[in-house]
Amino acid sequence: MSKGPIPIGEAVATGAGRLKARYVIHAAVMGTDFKTDADKIRQATCNSLRRAQELGLKSIAFPALGTGVGGFPLSECARIMYAEVKEHLAGPSSLESVTFALYGQDAYDAFKRELEEQGEI
């Protein structure tokens, strides 16, 4: 609460409390209207990666941003998030591992298809 509210598309890091992590990076992909779009997801992913870099993190895990309450299509989310991660990792980065922590078979299948199409698996 002390670091918010933040603009849509932005990300902020906080301590992780009792989680087995040092930080939680909170990415804002929708406002009070519960609507999101490709640009908001792109910006939130990019800014989350920036926060991770600023903290010198070696790993980060992402959910499929905006696909729950926001109702954004899983396949398009996978395409956008993968592109942002790939672009970030093309430059200097402290990150060694990026995990997509997905809820349900549909999300898993959408991200797997995107990685297959990009020749990553």
Give the tens place of pLDDT for each residue, 17-64: 999 999 999 999 998 999 999 999 999 999 999 999 999 999 999 999
Residue 1 lies in a domain: no
Residue 6 lies in a domain: no
- The CATH code of the domain that includes 72 is 3.40.220.10
CA atoms of 81 and 70, how far apart (whole Å): 15
Residue 4 lies in a domain: no
Residue 63 lies in a domain: yes
Residue 112 lies in a domain: yes
Confidence of residue 2 (pLDDT cuts 50, 70, 90): low
For residue 13, the Cα-to-chain-centroid distance in whole angstroms is 13
Residue 80 lies in a domain: yes
Cβ count near 20 (within 10 Å):
5
Q: Which two tokens stand for residue 3?
A: 């670091």
Number of domains in the chain: 1
> For the whole model, what pTM was predicted?
0.93
Residue indicated by tokens 């899983």: 74
- What SS3 state is found at 62? strand
Q: Which two tokens stand for residue 58?
A: 């070696």
Residue 89 lies in a domain: yes
Sign of the Cα pseudo-torsion (13, 15, 16, 20, in order): positive
Residue 3 lies in a domain: no
- For residue range 67-90, list pLDDT tens digits in order: 999 999 999 999 999 999 999 999
Q: Note down the domain range covering 45.
A: 11-117
